[in-house]
Amino acid sequence: MNALLRRMIAAGAAAAAAVAARKAVELGWTFAKDEPPPTAEGVRGDAELRDLLLWSALVAGAVVLARKVVTDRTEQLFGDEE
C-alpha cells in the first residue's frame, strides 16, 4: 500500500478517535457530576478552576491515548508490506 495512503488512513482514524474520546469523557463527566463540563468563561473560584484543570487533563489524556492506540493499530494493519 502506498505510504501516503497509509498516512491518510492513519490521520483520519486518529482524528475520529480523538473526537470519540472527547465525547466519551464528556459523557462520563456529565454522568459523574450531573452537570456539563466546565468552560473557561464559567470559572469563578478555586473549585471551578480545579474542575476546569481536571477536565482539561482528562480530555488531553483520553485524546492522546486514543490517537496512540488507533495509530499503532493502523500501522499494524497497513504496515510495510516489503
Q: Where are the alpha helices (DSSP H) in 2-45?
A: 3-33
- In the predicted model, what is the mean pLDDT of the chain? 88
Which residue segment(s) compose the domain that 58 sits in?
Answer: 3-78
Looking at the predicted structure, is the pLDDT value of residue 55 above 70?
A: yes
Q: How many domains does the chain have?
A: 1
Between CA 37 and CA 15 the distance in angstroms is: 21
pLDDT category, 81, cuts 50, 70, 90? low
Q: Contact 13/6 with Cβ under 8 angstroms?
A: no
CA-wise closest residue to 67 among 9, 17, 10, 7: 17
